[in-house]
Amino acid sequence: MNWVDIAWPMLSAVSLTLGLIHGLSWIRQRQQTELLALALLCVGIAAGAFGELLMVRAPTPERYGVVLRWTQVWITLICIAIVWFVHVRYRPGRAWLGALVIATRIACLVPNFTAGMNVNFRVIRSLDFVTLGSSGPLAVPVGEPNPWMTLVAINACLLAAYIANALLVVRRRGDIYEWRNALLTCGSLLFFVVVASAWNRAIVFGVIHAPMLMNPAFVGVILVMSYDVGSSNLRAARLAHNVAVQREQLVHLSRIALLTEISGALAHELSQPLTAMLSNAQAGLRFLGHSPANIDEVREGLLQIAENGKRAGEVVRRLRTMMRKESSDRRPLDLNDVVSDTLQLARTDLSNRNIDLVLDLAPNLPRVIGDRVQLQQVLLNLILNSIQATAPARGSLRISTRSVDLGRVELIVADDGCGIAESDLERIFSPFVTSKADGLGIGLSICASIVSSHGGEIWAQNNAGRGATVAFRLPAPGTEVTADPLDHPVRSREVGP
């Protein structure tokens, strides 16, 4: 067995293996249609390799002509796959040019099956046989070129023009990474199309006397294209990971900023139970000093000390929980409990600003799956924003929960403050949008990110009278969460009187 009989089946197997890999990858990532185009290209090249092997081993001119005729079908598939890949991968525009490439290539199949032996030869008179090393005799066609070869040449020129246009478009975009990949992939494709077309034409017109063997170049091109797609996917995955890490860091920093704002309230919150504990301890000492000692009063004082100690411990526990930087811990939650816990952190701020708090918490709410600390962070952000919007005048804050359709749960925070400026209403959840002189504009953006990562939606609206309402809705348990944490499903709207 000679090297051609070994190498060409191996090249076909390599192409089919790559095609299978890209096809399976496309099944898992349907949005990357360039993977499907690459899989079809690999199948076409594998079939072309088998066709080349049959041609160089053809015993008669008639057999050679039949194999070459059917090889044109696979070449057409290769051409379509190349145009598809370049169109999806690099978005070069000029869709009409790509369509013209495909149309002329399909048109070549008409004379291929109706005019002469195939689109290359009107007739093949004989076969010459050459030897390349230990290849054994390889068939070389000798015959009369088909006039329809002009259409084949036009198709090759159009394909080369389409690929060159893609290179120019990518170059103008100025993305160095994309340009490097395009130069490697489209440059290889362009070189291959030009050389393969010239090689085929030279053999048909008798300029060179050699067998039609081009499959190694085909396989080299798909290896380059596979590297392009693989490296791009790897880079995208790395960027997504970095964005996720930075997002988690930003959420944590936002949580620390919130805690800074309420540090005074927390200090006051702790001072109350500590003062009560001190008073009860002093009273207990006095009761013990009586003769006889008032044991009942001492017991009552110790019980109050224990209760106040638990209260202080609970305040510290909430503070530690909010400050702790951990991965998301999703569990079934009662949203009313989240409201109660959060209000413990904001109670003093509400009292100091003379804010009237109105709670309308629906009983027997369906549980939602969520991270308690993250949802507390969202609600605390909304409460503090409402307090600042209401100050310095005395106002009211209304927090309500309710169950809506499909088992979803909704939480609404409404105030009667200054409302949301018209210019900010449509972009209130975008990063760095703030009406505060010293604000960073990331609080509501992070709220939207957290709600989105829970599969929910958040929105804002101005009230009919005064103030604004911000609400979010979380899905029912068992609902699959597919939202991108950085793609906020938010909506803002103005409510008329």
363 is a domain residue: yes
One domain, residues 183 and 105: yes
One domain, residues 208 and 105: yes
Q: How many structural domains does the chain have?
A: 3
**pTM for the whole structure:** 0.53
Residue 319 is predicted with a pLDDT of 58
One domain, residues 56 and 115: yes
Residue 321 is predicted with a pLDDT of 59
One domain, residues 158 and 303: no
Query: CA 134: distance to chain centroid?
Result: 52
353 is a domain residue: yes
250 is a domain residue: no
One domain, residues 188 and 147: yes
**Which CATH number characterizes residue 371's domain?**
3.30.565.10
Last residue of a domain, one of 287, 309, 325: 325
Phi, psi (rounded to 5 degrees) for 207:
-70, -40
467 is a domain residue: yes
Residue 440 is predicted with a pLDDT of 55
User: Is the Cα dihedral 358, 419, 462, 412 positive or negative?
Assistant: negative
69 is a domain residue: yes
One domain, residues 133 and 12: yes
One domain, residues 41 and 133: yes
One domain, residues 439 and 369: yes
Q: Which domain holds residue 367?
A: 330-494
Residue 393 is predicted with a pLDDT of 67
Checking 400-406 for CB contacts under 8 A at 24+ apart, the result is 400/359, 400/360, 400/361, 400/362, 401/335, 401/336, 401/339, 401/360, 401/361, 401/362, 401/365, 402/362, 402/365, 403/362, 403/365, 403/366, 404/473, 406/475, 406/476
Last residue of a domain, one of 195, 219, 239: 239
Residue 490 is predicted with a pLDDT of 43
414 is a domain residue: yes
One domain, residues 199 and 317: no
One domain, residues 167 and 213: yes
**Which CATH number characterizes residue 182's domain?**
1.20.1070
Last residue of a domain, one of 188, 221, 239: 239
One domain, residues 407 and 379: yes
Contacts of 491 (CB under 8 A, 6+ apart): 457, 459
Q: What is the pLDDT along the chain (497 residues), one digit of tens a residue?
A: 577 778 878 888 888 888 888 888 888 888 888 888 888 888 888 888 888 888 888 889 899 889 988 988 988 998 998 899 889 888 888 889 999 999 999 999 999 898 888 888 889 888 888 887 777 788 888 888 989 989 999 999 999 999 899 889 988 888 787 888 888 888 888 888 888 888 888 888 888 888 887 777 777 777 787 777 777 777 777 777 777 777 677 666 666 666 665 565 555 456 656 766 777 788 888 888 877 877 888 788 788 788 777 767 766 665 565 555 555 668 888 999 989 888 876 776 777 778 888 999 998 888 898 888 778 878 888 888 888 887 666 788 899 999 888 778 999 999 888 888 777 777 777 766 566 555 556 677 778 878 888 889 988 888 887 888 999 999 877 654 444 433 444 444 333 33
In sequence order, which ranges of 332-482 are alpha helices (DSSP H)? 335-352, 372-390, 422-425, 443-453
273 is a domain residue: yes
One domain, residues 55 and 128: yes
